[in-house]
């Protein structure tokens, strides 16, 4: 997939809307809001420095959180602007508005190489309500757009497709890299190709599983996601987390289990031979899990062999993959030439139940395979354990990664393809 790049347009001296995705976590330090994780900001620096060298007048447009079309000071872009200024070692002027007379005046006064950051675009009801007049206004502020918001590229909003349809536009370096890398997973994966999925919700991954299953040699399932498949197979999961358990999701419960059953049925007779002792089914579920009481001391755990037929007490829940599953998953990963991973394999919020996820992360990091990671929880886990740089590619796209690999059309790409 060929996209328009920064070299495909003359940007020198131009007014440029830098549409990025600075939806970053915020924390409070000494009574002031600060950026808790600057990965997405750091990812944009290469493109920004290019624009600075080209003496562009840079207008940063982003969103943060879900203010619902009204001003929410806790979601202001102020801490983002401060952190960007620190990283660039260059002034970043943050405005308190994203449209209006004052914005027009500040853009007019902007010097070549200067940077303005507009206020959170989601403070405006026009953005939330898809009002096209907002796109018309924003488009008057610039000569062209550099689109760097992969995490928003599956959204059809005035600040995405609205402005892209009105101005010449190209991709930033990160946007280009995201699309190129993820497209390679779909179009030309290296074989053996292994997909590793965890997390909690099967509903978020149904389309992803359906699209990747024919392309992958093996699909490894862990985390609470695996509980749907285990239950569909007849395994008693007791109080384990499973999507569809709560009353408000009861209508979806049967459908989700049916989907899990359908996926298992479609792969029932499909095996892949990855070497001696590794003639495995295409869909690989945990063979043992670590269980703990739903209520009671967190230190109380039990390794449960799922083939033993041993019943799990009604108030116990599965919290992590067990050592036999770690060994099995690791053996498969070591034979892979490409691994795509999304979602933790246990309750990583507790150090006690991140053992399996950490073991698999280290296995992938040490493997010579091409390793691609998508998903905020997995990305944060790798950073926390200082494994981030041991992977070939870690996407900053969040939910957009799942959408892309599900084969869905991204509306912004209509304007960014060559």
In which domain, by residue range, is 355 found? Answer: 189-405
Considering the domain architecture, whether residues 116 and 217 belong to the same structural domain is answered as no
In a domain, 58, yes or no: yes
Predicted local confidence at residue 127, as pLDDT = 96
Identify the burial level of 340 via C-beta atoms within 10 angstroms of its C-beta, where 0-12 means exposed, 13-18 middle and 19 or more buried. Answer: buried
137 and 74 assigned to the same domain: yes
Sites in the chain below the pLDDT cut of 50: 245-251
Tell me the C-alpha distance between 98 and 119, whole Å: 5
**Does 108 lie in the same domain as 63?**
yes
Pick the closest to residue 46 from 74, 79, 20 (CA basis). 20
In terms of Cβ atoms closer than 10 Å to its own Cβ (0-12, 13-18, 19+), residue 188 is exposed
Q: What is the structure's pLDDT at 296?
A: 64
Task: Count how many domains the chain has.
Answer: 2
Q: Is 414 inside any structural domain?
A: no
- Are 32 and 90 found together in one domain? yes
Q: How far apart are the first and last CA of the chain?
A: 9
Indicate whether 151 and 195 sit together in one domain: no
- What's the pLDDT at 247? 36
Residue 404 has which token pair?
Answer: 């892309």
If asked whether residues 56 and 116 sit together in one domain, one would say yes
280 and 202 part of one domain: yes
> Are 60 and 41 contacting, i.e. CB atoms less than 8 angstroms apart?
no
Whole-number Å distance between alpha carbons of 350 and 296: 15
How far apart CA 121 and CA 187 sit, in angstroms, is 35
Domain match, 267 and 361 both = yes
Q: Are residues 205 and 117 in the same domain?
A: no
Do 118 and 202 lie in a common domain?
Answer: no
What is the per-residue pLDDT for 246? 43
Q: Per the domain annotation, does 65 fall within a domain?
A: yes
152 with 242, same domain: the answer is: no
Q: Are residues 164 and 207 in the same domain?
A: no
Domain with residue 285: its CATH number is: 3.40.50.1260
């Amino acid at each position: 997939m060929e996209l328009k790049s920064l070299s495909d347009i003359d940007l020198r001296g131009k007014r440029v809307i830098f549409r990025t995705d600075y939806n970053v976590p915020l924390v409070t330090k000494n009574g002031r809001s600060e950026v808790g994780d600057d990965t997405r900001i750091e990812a944009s620096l290469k493109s920004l420095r290019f624009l600075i060298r080209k003496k562009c007048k840079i207008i940063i447009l982003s969103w943060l959180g879900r203010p619902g079309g009204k001003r929410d000071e806790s979601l202001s872009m102020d801490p983002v602007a401060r952190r960007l200024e620190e990283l660039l070692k260059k002034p970043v002027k943050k405005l308190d508005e994203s449209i209006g007379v004052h914005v027009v005046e500040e853009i007019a006064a902007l010097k070549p190489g200067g940077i303005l950051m507009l206020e959170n675009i989601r403070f405006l009801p026009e953005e939330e309500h898809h009002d096209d007049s907002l796109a018309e206004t924003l488009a008057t502020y610039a000569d062209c757009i550099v689109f760097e918001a992969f995490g928003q590229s599956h959204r059809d909003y005035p600040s995405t497709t609205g402005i892209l349809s009105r101005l010449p536009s190209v991709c930033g370096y990160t946007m280009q890299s995201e699309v190129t890398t993820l497209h390679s997973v779909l179009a030309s994966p290296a074989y053996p190709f292994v997909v590793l999925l965890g997390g909690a919700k099967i509903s978020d991954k149904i389309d992803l599983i359906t699209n990747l299953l024919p392309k992958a040699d093996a699909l490894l399932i862990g985390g609470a996601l695996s509980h749907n498949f285990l239950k569909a197979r007849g395994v008693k999961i007791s109080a384990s987390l499973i999507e569809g358990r709560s009353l408000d999701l009861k209508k979806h419960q049967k459908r989700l289990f049916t989907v899990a059953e359908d996926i298992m049925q479609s792969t029932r007779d499909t095996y892949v031979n990855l070497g001696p002792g590794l003639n495995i089914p295409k869909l690989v579920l945990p063979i043992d899990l670590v269980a703990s009481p739903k209520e009671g001391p967190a230190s109380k755990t039990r390794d449960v062999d799922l083939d033993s037929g041993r019943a799990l007490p009604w108030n116990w829940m599965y919290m992590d993959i067990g050592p036999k599953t770690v060994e099995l998953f690791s053996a498969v990963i070591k034979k892979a030439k490409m691994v795509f991973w999304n979602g933790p394999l246990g309750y990583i919020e507790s150090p006690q139940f991140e053992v399996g996820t950490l073991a698999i992360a280290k296995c992938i990091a040490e493997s010579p395979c091409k390793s691609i990671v998508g998903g905020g929880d997995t990305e944060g886990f790798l950073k926390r354990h200082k494994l981030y740089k041991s992977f070939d590619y870690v996407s900053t796209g969040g939910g957009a990664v799942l959408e892309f690999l599900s084969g869905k059309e991204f509306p912004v790409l209509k304007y960014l393809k060559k």
